[in-house]
Amino acid sequence: MRKTIIEPFKIKVTEPLVLKSREEREEILKKADYNLFLVKSEDVTFDFLTDSGTTAMSANQWAAMMVADESYAGSRSFHRFKSKVTEITSYDHVIPTHQGRASERLLFGVLLRPGMKVPSNNHFDTTRANIEFLGAQAVDLVIPEGKIPDHEHPFKGNIDLSRLESFCREFKDKIPLGMLTITNNTGGGQPVSLENIREAARIYHKHGIPFILDACRFAENAWFIKTRENAHSNSSIKAIVSEIFSLADGCLMSAKKDGMVNIGGFIALKDSTWVQDLRNQLILTEGFPTYGGLAARDLEALAVGLDEAMDEDYLRYRIATSSYMGRRLNEMGIPTVRPAGGHAVYIDAEKFLPHIPKAQFPGQALAAELYLQDGVRTCEIGSVMFKEAASMELVRMAFPRRVYTQSHFDYILEGFQDIKERSRELRGFRIKEAPPFLRHFTVKFERF
Ligand SMILES: *Cc1c(COP(=O)(O)O)cnc(C)c1O
């Protein structure tokens, strides 16, 4: 095994990296009241806020965009996109949307009524919000190991099958659909095994419940199945992906993840039962069924991107990147959620900065320091975001696809070493001003 991770692409278009001094960043961060969401991206060197919509597209994707057919109805680009989705998922009914949460709103709007329940391993926050907005309940049934940050388990995204079975038995009349999120974003980008997907499908179907995947990171999940689930080590990614989709009745997709595009999403379904209602809703708020809130060029880029996401050289590099970052941090004595997720590494700031009490936001302290040190923008996922409901104080580094190189990572790791050596000097924060909802986006801090 070679030690150096090689990016399986060469670079044709470049964008300069912003390099500022620590003093300049001190000034910028203070002006933003220490909230990284309020820092302009032109002042950020390495942007790890999210992997969503931040992908670098390939020459083939840009080329496909140039030949897009922007006709209002019946566009050739729609048919190319639709055939690609059907080829990968085997689902015949494909509804384009502008992004994942639009797919959620449409499907749940058609299926959910107050008092209903939707089980999953973990619902992503927009998924949960769209379910709760309709008066229904989003129920998380991830395995217990999935909630313990340093518990090593190859498939921490698995759903707890015995709890799922009893939940379905008790509430089946109130469950219009059951879900699984692959990979489990809320649980740290952790994968679900093929065996777990198969068993969850069996339980849902036994109780007559349609099974819908939240498939945002289906390709990364398939790579974990290939490399961690013995029975599938000789299968191709395409074969694993087809098997995953064949077990479910449909999927919701944010193409801003494994669609390898900057905007886009879709709903794909095996059966036509809900399709007419969905299309009627789609026309009201998204657009005509052959573009659904996107330009035809977006559909073209997505059709190419879905194949590129399943390329095995790409996936090997992609997953090596996050596991390399996780491993090097752990070797340095910086605790993370283990194992590393597919798209992100989550640092356990509470453990790393034990001298900063939860009430002074250890995650925020680390996120601010990472910005000051090297211009790295991360996201606090702890008491700033969830208030008293936070069970962990994490800092998420989510990696945009095909954007940064191994030397960028090594440079950032040097910065981490520096922070580690003076970690006792880091100070917490107090909140100066905060809105009542989703406060992390606009909260203002001051230093202790
Ligand atoms: C990003 C994401 C969504 C929502 O998608 P958007 O495109 O951001 O609206 C839903 N589920 C999961 C698992 C996600 O990661």
Which pLDDT score, from 0 to 100, does residue 1 have?
A: 73
Q: Exposed (0-12), middle (13-18) or buried (19+): which is 16, by Cβ within 10 Å?
A: exposed
343 lines ligand 1 (CB under 6 A): no
Tell me the pLDDT tens digit for each residue of 204-222.
999 999 999 999 999 999 9
**Domains in the chain, CATH or no CATH each:** 22-51+311-447 (3.90.1150.10), 59-308 (3.40.640.10)
Judge whether residue 388 has pLDDT over 90.
no
Supply the pLDDT for residue 38: 96
- Is 127 a pocket residue for ligand 1 (Cβ < 6 Å)? yes
Q: Is any atom of ligand 1 closer than 6 Å to the C-beta of 254?
A: yes
**Which tokens hold the place of 367?**
């996120």
Mutate to test the pocket of ligand 1, among 254, 257, 263, 343 (most ligand atoms within 8 A of CB): 254
Q: Is 221 in the pocket of ligand 1 (CB under 6 A)?
A: no
Which ligand 1 atom is nearest residue 53's CA? 7
Residue 119 to residue 141: CA distance in whole angstroms: 7
d(C-alpha 110, C-alpha 171), whole Å: 20
Q: How many whole angstroms separate alpha carbon 115 and alpha carbon 216?
A: 27
Which residue minimizes the CA distance to atom 5 of ligand 1?
Answer: 100
pLDDT digits over 174-208, tens only? 999 999 999 998 888 999 999 999 999 999 999 99
Residue 391 has pLDDT above 90, yes or no: no
Range from 3-7, 39-43, 95-99, 375-379 carrying the lowest mean pLDDT: 3-7
- Diameter over CA atoms, the chain: 62
Per-residue confidence (pLDDT) for residue 367, from 0 to 100: 98
The reply to whether the predicted model has a pTM over 0.85 is yes
Which protein residue's CA is at the shortest distance from atom 8 of ligand 1? 100
How close is the Cα of 55 to the center of ligand 1, in Å? 14
pLDDT for res 337: 94
pLDDT of residue 390: 82
Percent of the chain at pLDDT above 70? 100
> How far apart are the C-alpha atoms of 364 and 429, rounded to whole Å?
7
- Ligand 1 test: best mutation among 52, 302, 438, most atoms within 8 Å of CB? 52
Of the candidates 430, 186, 408, 222, which has an alpha carbon nearest to the alpha carbon of residue 312? Answer: 222
In the predicted model, what is the mean pLDDT of residues 24-53?
A: 97
Residue 126 C-alpha to ligand 1 middle, in angstroms?
A: 7
Quote the crossing angle between the two packed helices 161-171 and 194-206, to the nearest 10°. 20
Residue whose CB lies within 8 A of the most ligand 1 atoms, among 185, 190, 218, 438, for a mutation test: 185
* 214 in contact with ligand 1, CB cutoff 6 A: yes
- CA distances to 33, 367, 430, 438, 443 from 433, rounded to whole Å, are 10, 19, 9, 13, 6
Looking at residue 110, its pLDDT comes to 97
> Which residue is closest in CA terms to ligand 1's atom 12?
124
- The CB-side HSE value for 101 (13 A sphere, CA atoms) comes to 9
Reported confidence tier of residue 8, pLDDT bands at 50, 70, 90: very high
Cβ(100) – ligand 1 distance below 6 Å? yes
What's the CA-to-centroid distance between 265 and ligand 1, angstroms?
Answer: 9
Q: 110 CA distance to ligand 1 centroid (A)?
A: 19
pLDDT tens for each residue of 159-176 = 999 999 999 999 999 999
To 5 degrees, how large is the angle CA 409–CA 413–CA 418?
150
Q: What is the pLDDT of residue 187?
A: 85
